[in-house]
Amino acid sequence: MGISFWLSISSIFIGIGIASNQCLNDQHSLLLALRNEVIYDHSSTKIAGWNPSLDCCYWGGITCDTHGRVIRLDLNNQSIQGAINDSSSLFRLQFLQSLNLAFSPRSIAFRIC
């Protein structure tokens, strides 16, 4: 088999690999909604750097699975404050397995009814 055949096959697998871990639109929207629900220090290294035009799987503090679903949210030490209630977009990240809000010098109030 020729080299062009192997290059074609390689490009298909590389394309599948790249497409499979892109942030899903609903996950992207939910994270941006969460950012708007809380008060945060605009010099923070994570949440303040979430650029809406970039893939959310590459944002600071975000880990996605191979399907582009957010499975880990690590916002420790980010000076986040405010209230997160049961209607928060945080609770609509249905594949979230790990949440870290530790060491925030400010307070976050959770109200789940």
Cβ atoms of residues 80 and 38 within 8 Å: yes
Cβ atoms of residues 60 and 49 within 8 Å: yes
DSSP-derived 3-state class of residue 72: strand
Q: Residue 65: is it exposed, middle or buried by C-beta count within 10 angstroms (0-12/13-18/19+)?
A: middle
pLDDT reported for residue 4: 59
- Does residue 70 surpass a pLDDT of 50? yes
Domain locations in the chain as residue ranges: 22-111
The model's pTM is: 0.75
- Dihedral over Cα of 101, 106, 108, 109: its sign: positive
- Does residue 80 surpass a pLDDT of 90? no
Fold adopted by 22-111: 3.80.10
Res. 5 pLDDT band, cuts 50 70 90: low
